[in-house]
Structure 1
């Protein structure tokens, strides 16, 4: 029997919003905390611009790609890239969580001018997230799809089941200043003042969903059900009629948002120089406005006991879905708007780097997302704690991030730096040895000249 159109719509959206090779908002653990400070370090804490390796630092590029779930293992993601959704459904033991995030840093530059430092830092982001998707519901729809038996399944999911994707570009001016600098310590501050260029934002959310799902052969209906439903999409970009994501319609719009990163850095010194470097930062304060080609619709679903709604009438066109909801007695239209503001993924971050010897170093990084990931107009971010031992032999550095991510839990990675070039992963060791739930890679190239600071 054919798969229901409602399920097909859901699966297509997952793959559109969660491409495995995406570049979006994610830290460069190991390089941001490296003893050689660069423009990559300033993405973690803008106050690190006061600690650049040399007077002038140029970041030619830096990029990372990551996919992380609470369900799929490293091996499953590597070997089954074409069947991620089916694997997520079949392997999940609770609600599904997943993310693809990272960054692409466009060529950027920082300059140290006595007690002042200035820099231009530009980055591009693509972000996709699966939040609290009910795996039991997905299995009930997909399992035994060829069976002619009738079954029913009760649903009670109080969370906002959400699939969200976003794309934007930032261009920031970093201004830093040393507050004091003596033989024992150094204190400095900096801010990154960012113009934000919107590109794309999508969200499908089903909040507080409860009811009964009934399968009768190939027909799937829901009854005695209630929920709040949110649909946000770009009418010029998402062409669900042909099942295509039309990238040709992506537009780089004028800046319509403002963001702010603010950081403080404190160093301790002895007769051999800096032995402790630490910092505190708040990043991505602000929001961005998406224009009139973006639409947001909210509906309330109420299907009384004894009535049912056939989800097969939902085809793969979101405009059709909206029309079906508008015309059905079971869905009440609550609000609609063209153009809206989306909150940037604000985090509070701390970092620390300790020089153990002339060769060995130990770094710490932690960040916490301080907003509500279930809000429809919110770009989510990760909670992270990482301990990173490293060793430096002249221009060569090797580092190994031991990191706890809120979705994939503990991962162990490995990376290398030679001069200004670096390449590594947060998960390669644990993925190969223990088959953990994260797959990622990062790389970049920096170049500097002038006197070593």
Structure 2
């Protein structure tokens, strides 16, 4: 019994978790046909198919949050799941299982804006949420030892299988210009096959090992509700009941943005054989409804009990185990099982030509903990695809909240056959996959015919309505081109000067030039006063009025001469004034350090040089003949450089200044007298031309 009680209910589901959305990546294809109705019933109207007949298709998917495996190793001989699977137990592991088989089904158009679909479908769905995976693993392993009280959890589990017969109707709801909206509804008859459900309330478990295994005991606490579509404890064979049935509904809307629509292409919305949208947005709610099992039974179990290992091992099935070892109350009668209601939303972008990118989200909108309530695992996906009439390829990338792993898959459609998986690429490289899925099908597609060519000039106006059937023209002019008498490229209907050529920017009229300066008024900042093009049609200014235009004036705000580029000339008087200041600059004895009392003189030099901002100067240093000639030469250079550095520090550009020292070589007085030597120790300023 060890492998048939808890393991059969929880462990299998713990490693076979599944998303509940079938045909991952395929159902967004504009050539998905009748399969698309399972996701959004509005998809079948304005379809690329005139008729689509499904012969057989299946979609099955598995995933999990408790075990990770190398998928392709599982099928090898000798694979040991217990040893090789990577375990990720938590106190709330989740599980589900979904298989979806579509039998003979068909979709077809009943009018240009109306479509129908009829389908048959068989589904199996299992999901368990909130189970302590570690406890279940401890109970089911072969060589277990005593473990203290552990919480199994307030878990919820549902297993349900049923058949569906659905009829879908879809219609165009709104079509105006670039905007297109369609809606659809599916009504489905549900035929129940089998149902199991269980709900635990604060279930706890303690195992006490004994040297004699048969004397080992389990102490359990809490309560549980366990029900099924029939009393399998009394009769383990499936007793099919045709009266176990129910009804369900799917609803869907699809909006398309069709920017290529225009007055000249008003017929584009009538072209059935091509996709017309740049952006498509779909929203749907699926699996609204439930089914009732008339022969159902439900037991409420009191789990506060101690049972032996023998009790555990000797039970033939789960029903027998519970019934023989725990007190319970019985409720016979109808059992209602609810469908896994879900909200779906997707955005499909036509990137270019036959390349698309789809973003999709699937969200369960029912409680995962409600008794006998199936629920999907939430998921988001991003699927790039290439799509054409006879071939499609898609690569879905998805993330699901149960497995908590990114999945990458691949799918192909080749006319009558399609096959794909939402996880095959990621599983090929992963050593710890928690999901796997596959879908495939065979169908007979009957495509929309290409519209007959009754528009010779291709202007979107049928020849029967076109007054110029061989020359393209707009619908406003009955298919004839607009005239252009002045041949300026502006149609007469838009030309305010139809007989005089002019640019479109001026409504077909020529631009004026009032001041005749060669600069058009639209570009002329001084349209009534002539001026050169280089100054945007305005005359060049002379701010200081010295006869030198500002564009050529190096001193535009100070009057100067043309010869000196608009700047004032440096006169002999100015040079004398500069040298009166410079010759009064005092230095520390035998040093190039300027004495502080010379700052006023230096500031005078700065002020004069600022007045003549375009003039360049050379500072020459000189000494008397006292002392060593070489040292005097260096001292003269240093003193000239010191004055230059001071001027630069006060803002005079270094590019305007140079310095040199001449030592004793250029005396201006006799070195034999004290007065003469004092005159020879100087810094002179020379104008550089």
State whether TM-score is above 0.5. yes
Q: Structure 1 residues 151 and 239 mapped into 2: Cα distance closer, same or farther (>3 Å)?
A: closer
How do 1:43-442 and structure 2 match up within 5 A?
43-76=38-71, 78-79=73-74, 86=82, 91-94=87-90, 95-112=92-109, 113-143=111-141, 145=143, 151-160=146-155, 162-217=156-211, 218=213, 219-223=215-219, 225-235=220-230, 238=232, 246=237, 249=238, 251=240, 253-254=242-243, 256-271=245-260, 273-292=276-295, 294-303=296-305, 308-310=306-308, 312-314=310-312, 315-325=315-325, 331=327, 333-392=328-387, 395-408=390-403, 409-435=405-431, 436-442=433-439
Indicate the SS of the match to 2:352: coil
- 8 A contact 1:66–1:102 mirrored in 2: yes
Relative to structure 1, the CA distance from residue 168 to residue 345 in structure 2 (aligned partners, 3 Å threshold; closer, same or farther) is: same
Which piece of structure 1 moves more, 67-76 or 360-369?
Answer: 67-76
TM normalised by structure 1 equals 0.84
* Per-residue deviation, 1:240: 9.6
Q: 1:159 to 1:322 in 2, by over 3 A?
A: closer
Secondary structure of residue in 1 paired with 2:135: helix
In the superposition, relative to structure 1, how do residues 73 and 346 fare at CA in structure 2: closer, same or farther (>3 Å)? same
Q: For residue 523 of structure 2, what is the aligned residue in structure 1?
A: none
Deviation of residue 228 (structure 1)?
A: 1.6
Q: Cα–Cα, structure 1 residues 339 and 252, in superposed 2: closer, same or farther, change >3 Å?
A: closer
State TM-score, norm by structure 2. 0.57
Return the offset for 1:195.
0.6
With over 3 angstroms needed to count, the CA separation of the structure-2 counterparts of 1:251 and 1:158, relative to structure 1, is closer
| 3-state SS of paired residue (1:102) | strand
Higher strand content, 1 or 2? 1
In angstroms, what is the RMSD of aligned CA positions? 3.1
Change (3 A) 1:322 1:74: closer
Say if 2:410 and 2:420, in contact at 8 Å, map to a contact too: yes
Unaligned runs of 5+ in 1: none
Q: Distance in 1 between the 2:443 and 2:142 partners?
A: 54
**Most deviating of 309-318 and 121-130:** 309-318
Q: Give, in whole Å, the separation in 1 of the partners of 2:241 and 2:55.
A: 22
Query: Are the aligned partners of 2:358 and 2:384 in contact in 1 as well (CA < 8 Å)?
Result: yes
| 1:416, distance to aligned residue in structure 2 (A) | 0.7
The alpha-carbon distance between structure 1 residues 8 and 114, as it changes in their structure 2 partners (threshold 3 A), is closer
Shift of 1:213: 2.7
On the 8 A contact 1:169/1:196 being kept in 2, the answer is yes
Call closer, same or farther: CA 1:438–1:84 in 2, change over 3 Å: farther
Instruction: Tell me the distance in 1 between the aligned counterparts of 2:121 and 2:186.
Output: 12
> What is the CA–CA distance in structure 1 between the aligned matches of 2:377 and 2:447, rounded to whole Å?
37
Shift of 1:222: 3.3
Deviates more, 1:357-366 or 1:89-98: 89-98
Can you list the C-alpha shifts for 1:175-234, whole angstroms capped at 9, x where unaligned?
1121112341211111101110000111244331135332224244234x4212122235
Question: 1:6 Cα shift?
Answer: 5.0
Matched residue SS, 1:352? strand
The 2-side partners of 1:433 and 1:16 are apart by: 24
How many angstroms does 1:31 deviate by? 1.2
Name the CA shift for 1:69/1:362 in 2 (closer, same or farther; >3 Å): same
User: Is residue 357–residue 382 contact of structure 2 (8 Å, CA) maintained in 1?
Assistant: yes
Q: Check conservation: 2:31, 2:389, Cα contact below 8 A.
A: no
Deviates more, 1:251-260 or 1:382-391: 251-260
Instruction: Give the CA deviation at 1:382.
Output: 1.9
Where structure 2 has 5 or more consecutive residues not aligned to the other structure, the ranges are 262-275, 451-689
User: 1-side partners of 2:378 and 2:46: how far apart?
Assistant: 26
Question: Could you report, residue by residue, the CA deviation over 1:236-257 in whole angstroms, capped at 9, with x for unpaired residues?
Answer: 7x5799xxx75xx463624620
Greater RCO, 1 or 2 (C-alpha within 8 Å, sep 6+): 1
1:413/1:430 contact within 8 Å kept: yes
Measure, in 2, the Cα distance between the counterparts of 1:430 and 1:384: 16
Tell me how many residue pairs correspond in the alignment.
427
